[in-house]
Amino acid sequence: MASPFLDFVRERMVFQRYAKRTIETYLYWIKFFILFHKKQHPADLGNADVERFLSFLANDRHVAVKTQATALNALVFLYRHILRRPLTIQLDFNKARTPQKLPVVLTRLEVQQLLFGIDPRYKLLAQLLYGSGLRLMEAVRLRVKDIDFDYLSVMVWQGKGNKNRRVTLAPELIPALHAQIKKVDEYFQADLLNPDYAGVWLPFALARKFPAAPKSLAWQYLFPSYQLSRDPESNLIRRHHLDETTLRRAIKSAAYLAKIQKNVTCHTLRHSFATNLLEAGVDIRTVQEQLGHSDVKTTQIYTHVLQRGGNAVKSPLSLLLQS
C-alpha cells in the first residue's frame, strides 16, 4: 500500500530537482527509519531516535561509512525540508568505521589489453571512461551536443553533486565519435517516422523551455538504447540511453579475457586516468578539476598509488641480497 507521506516526500524532491536515483535512495532510508521505529511518524521522533537508528546501522548492520552517511543525508533532508525541524548539528551516534581503500589502478599495458579485448560495441564508451576520467553514469548520459570537437573536450552536466565540468577529449577518438553520431542519427531518423515517438527525455523544465529540443539530433543520447521503450513516469515512448549494466559486464568480461588479476570495474578506468595523469607530471589541481572533486584531499589518494615514496626507500631485503 502506497504511503501518502512518502509520496509527498517524493513530490518535494522532484520539485527541488533531485536526481531520480537520489530520490529513490532517500526514500529507501526514510522508509527504513520509519519501520525501525515501528512505523512511528517522523514528526513524533527526534535527534535521539536518529542517533539510535544510525548506531543500529553501524553496530548491527555493519554498513560502510558511505552507506551510513547516505542514510544520515536522507534524514537531514527529511527533517530540514519536509518537517521544517532541522536536526542538531552534532549528533551523537556510533559512526561506521572502515579503513580507506586504495583505488585499483591498471598499468598502461593492462589498459591496452583491456581495450583490445572488449566487445567493439562498448569500446568507445570504455575509451571515454579512461581517456576523459568519466564516471559510468556520466558517460552513458552524454548527449550528442556534449562533445566539443573544436576544443577537444567533453561537457559533463549535473555530474556527482549536481556539478558541471569540462574534461579533456583524446583527439584519437574523433573518428569513432563521428561514426557514433552518424549511428545516433540513423536511429533518430527512424524514430521520427514513428508517430508514437515523443522525443528524448529532457531534465526538469528544459522540455518546456526548448520544446523543439527533444526531437533535435543535438539532444539525443550519444549512446542510445537499441530499442524504444515507454517512460514509466510520463508513459511516453522514448529512446533512453544504453543500460549501464551492459558496459559493466563488458568490462568484466574483457578483464577476464585479458587475464588481469585485479578487481576491474568501470571506475577502475577512472582511477587509472587520474593516476596516469599524475605519473605524466600533470599537477594535482588540474587532475582535481578533471575529476570534478570538490576537495583536493579526495584527489590526493592517487598519489599513494604512484609509490614515489616506495621507489625512494629500499627494502632491507634488497640491501641484504645486494651485499
Kindly name the residue from 143, 238, 239, 270 that is annotated as catalytic. Answer: 270
- One-letter amino acid identity for 118? I
135 carries an active-site annotation: yes
| 302 has catalytic annotation | yes
Q: Cell numbers 546501522 correspond to what residue? A: 57
Of the candidates 143, 239, 241, 293, the residue annotated as catalytic is 293
Q: Which of 28, 302, 304, 314 is catalytic?
A: 302
293 is catalytic: yes
Of 160, 166, 240, 248, which one is the catalytic site residue? 160
Give alpha helix (H) positions in the chain: 4-15, 20-36, 47-59, 65-77, 108-117, 120-132, 136-140, 174-192, 206-209, 244-257, 266-279, 284-291, 296-299, 301-305, 308-312, 316-322
Would you say 88 and 48 are in contact if contact means Cβ atoms under 8 Å apart?
Answer: no
Task: Report the relative pairing of strands 229-230 and 153-156 from DSSP bridges.
Answer: unpaired
Q: How far apart are CA 149 and CA 70, in angstroms?
A: 37
- Spatial contact of 96 and 60, defined as CB atoms under 8 Å apart: no
Q: What's the CA gap between 251 and 228, in Å, rounded?
A: 25
270 catalytic per annotation: yes
Reply yes or no on whether 163 is catalytic.
no
Name the catalytic one among 52, 166, 267, 304: 267
DSSP state, residue 295: S
In the set 123, 135, 166, 240, the catalytic residue is 135
CA angle 23-15-197, nearest 5°?
85
160 is catalytic: yes
Residues that are catalytic: 135, 160, 267, 270, 293, 302
